[in-house]
Chains A and B, each alone.
Chain A
């Protein structure tokens, strides 16, 4: 997966490095010894079953949860993410699954929520221009930025949420299930958007249950299982390998079908854990 890259932050430079991250909730260890690297201009997909720890990991990175142990390096320096504000300040933006938009406010107001220009006499013109330029850069198709969010479609709302996370010029954006509620065309639109964000030299972390989507945009696929790293794959990995790593079972409907197709018993690559 190589693409032409404009001279933004050096592509491939490691922005974020997690090592040995553990998170315990009482007796339950939600994350154990997680390692994860995110580089500039790269899409990392986090996949795993329900309860694998994907959301916990995202919340650790967003500053919502604090890790019980382990270190987080941001641009080579150790960082503590003790509040959502701190994570944003460092340049880690999160788009949560429920988008968190205010339906009664228009697109401009939502984009700038909490970061309005000139707080004592809002500069609506400047904000509207900035909103249009940002949406243009993303080639987003929002008919009017003065419409309330309530009148937008699911894909358009996702676009607004992603655009909002880009407003503060982050280094990394994290997307939690960005395509979960979307139709075919809107999913394609959001995936295009993710590629454009990557081409701007940002690191992207995406969580998804949809293997098609993951393989369409990801440069690396990181599998979590029961709170541990369970292998790193390239997008060329077969469905079978991925499902095996996710479920931890080498015997499942996907592998059985592959076997039937292949017509003979096949040796599985065992999971590293």
Chain B
């Protein structure tokens, strides 16, 4: 036992969870590194593909066009990330259950059309229009859940028909003009195009994740030691928090050379953190993973499986509506094109590239954030190269295919290494 001087108050023997001699325990930083290498080798890739992907993308595009890595281009990139990133966050929820929502693009288009019609054409107050959009999303999600729960309709088919129906509704409410401009001076459009955090605030916020990691880590540590369980070494905790803080501060510093950190991107981060907490630290999140892993087992454990599906579908469509309204703000218009094209697939691809499994039961809220940065970086880089959208579609398609291949290969490897 290579444990640092740490003794449990009452018992002289090993901590409760260290009594089995068959387990190898990773206590030092070197041990932890080795453990995570083992994990990667067995197919538990985590964030690795994304990190590698981002490095490759930045190197390739900055060689082809140096503008790519300029601060202001990155700020633009983050503005673009926020809208589809929020949609992708909803996709993570349904993918965790092993289901899919193919209609998020149409849903976002419908919500953006609703903003235009209700707010600009009918003159309703902006909050009312926003609320109506979100409510429409929640209703559509609830409808999918009812079709799935009560009629046994596969989500693939239900949302595929939703894709067409919602697109039809979007075209119908936009009417013959087909496009509504949103006023440039409005808060919504300025939020989508201009508002950035003040420099000092963004630097302050960049300190928060590291601080939270340290504080929560210390509290868990104290709790575990008091309960007679082993606790991870302090050095690893501080190393992790330190590296994260340095990385974030540098990113913020670099973005502040340009326009600064967009508030809209801040909204995305806030939603990601919120969803991550809900998925990992609440009973609801635990039941999401349980239903995705083994639906029957979850049902027998007394989990209300139907309600879990209902919550996931509703959350997904509502987030899609929110993303759609923000993309209307980003473009300052509600048009027939909103939500069509690659929005749907980008949202799904982002979740998968970030490491959420298509087979259910594995994934995290952060996968949407990381995945969308990869996707938008590719699309931004290709736009800078003045490539036509035909090429852009082909390349994005290939990236999605690679992501899914990595997912299923990793899954196979996990099964053979007994990691599920």
A128-B229, A143-B23, A150-B419 known; A105-B17 Cβ under 8 A: no
Question: A112: shortest Cβ distance to chain B, in Å?
Answer: 8
Contact indicator A129/B283 (Cβ below 8 Å):
no
**Which residues in window 107-145 of A have CB below 8 A to B?**
109, 113-116, 119-122, 124-126, 128-129, 132-133, 141-145
Contact indicator A104/B301 (Cβ below 8 Å):
no
Q: Which stretch of B70-78, B194-202, B292-300 is in the interface?
A: B292-300
| A273 at the B interface (CB under 8 A) | no
- Taking a contact as CB atoms closer than 8 A, the residue among A116, A119, A145 that contacts B17 in the complex is A145
In the complex, the chain B residue whose C-beta lies closest to that of A152 is: B418
A114-B302, A125-B229 known; A101-B286 Cβ under 8 A: no
Contact indicator B419/A148 (Cβ below 8 Å):
yes
Bound state CA distance, A181 and B181, in angstroms? 67
Bound state CA distance, A55 and B245, in angstroms? 58
Q: Which stretch of B80-88, B219-227, B374-382 is in the interface?
A: B219-227
In the complex, the chain A residue whose C-beta lies closest to that of B219 is: A125
Bound state CA distance, A68 and B409, in angstroms? 51
| A74 at the B interface (CB under 8 A) | no
| A84 at the B interface (CB under 8 A) | yes
Contacts of A144 in B (CB 8 A): 17, 20, 23
| A37 at the B interface (CB under 8 A) | no
| B140 at the A interface (CB under 8 A) | no
Bound state CA distance, A85 and B300, in angstroms? 9
In the complex, the chain A residue whose C-beta lies closest to that of B304 is: A114
Contact indicator A104/B362 (Cβ below 8 Å):
yes
Candidate in A88, A115, A141, A144 with the most chain B CB atoms within 10 angstroms? A144
| B289 at the A interface (CB under 8 A) | yes
- Taking a contact as CB atoms closer than 8 A, the residue among B282, B294, B296 that contacts A103 in the complex is B294
Contact indicator A125/B289 (Cβ below 8 Å):
no
When each residue 262-291 of chain B gets 1 if its CB lies under 8 Å from chain A and 0 otherwise, what string results? 000000000000000000011110110110
Contacts of A146 in B (CB 8 A): 17
Question: A244: shortest Cβ distance to chain B, in Å?
Answer: 36
A-side interface mostly: loop
| B150 at the A interface (CB under 8 A) | no
Candidate in B20, B284, B290 with the most chain A CB atoms within 10 angstroms? B290
Contact indicator B290/A84 (Cβ below 8 Å):
no
- How many chain B residues touch A (CB < 8 A): the figure is 36
When each residue 344-382 of chain B gets 1 if its CB lies under 8 Å from chain A and 0 otherwise, what string results? 000000000000000001100000000000000000000
Contacts of B293 in A (CB 8 A): 102-105
Contact indicator B296/A100 (Cβ below 8 Å):
yes
Contact indicator A113/B224 (Cβ below 8 Å):
no
| B420 at the A interface (CB under 8 A) | yes
Bound state CA distance, A149 and B419, in angstroms? 8
| A96 at the B interface (CB under 8 A) | yes
Contacts of A96 in B (CB 8 A): 300
| B16 at the A interface (CB under 8 A) | yes
Contact indicator A121/B229 (Cβ below 8 Å):
no
Contacts of B229 in A (CB 8 A): 125, 128-129, 132
**Which residues in window 173-227 of B have CB below 8 A to A?**
220, 223-224, 227
Contacts of B17 in A (CB 8 A): 128, 132, 144-146
**Which residues in window 132-191 of A have CB below 8 A to B?**
132-133, 141-146, 148-151
A119-B282, A119-B283, A122-B286 known; A102-B298 Cβ under 8 A: yes
In the complex, the chain A residue whose C-beta lies closest to that of B17 is: A132
Contact indicator B16/A113 (Cβ below 8 Å):
no
- Taking a contact as CB atoms closer than 8 A, the residue among A122, A129, A142, A150 that contacts B227 in the complex is A129
- Taking a contact as CB atoms closer than 8 A, the residue among B227, B284, B286, B296 that contacts A113 in the complex is B286
Question: A25: shortest Cβ distance to chain B, in Å?
Answer: 21
26 contacts between A and B (CB under 8 A): A96-B300, A98-B296, A101-B294, A101-B297, A102-B290, A102-B294, A103-B293, A104-B420, A109-B289, A113-B303, A115-B301, A121-B282, A122-B281, A122-B282, A122-B283, A124-B220, A125-B224, A126-B227, A129-B228, A132-B17, A132-B229, A133-B16, A142-B20, A143-B23, A144-B20, A146-B17
Q: Could you list which residues of chain A lie within 8 angstroms of chain B, going by C-beta atoms? A: 84-85, 88, 96, 98-105, 109, 113-116, 119-122, 124-126, 128-129, 132-133, 141-146, 148-151
Q: A102-B293, A125-B224, A132-B229 are in contact. List 20 more A-B contacts (CB 8 A).
A: A84-B302, A103-B420, A104-B292, A104-B361, A105-B290, A109-B286, A114-B287, A114-B301, A114-B303, A115-B302, A116-B286, A122-B281, A126-B227, A129-B227, A133-B16, A148-B419, A148-B420, A150-B414, A150-B418, A151-B418
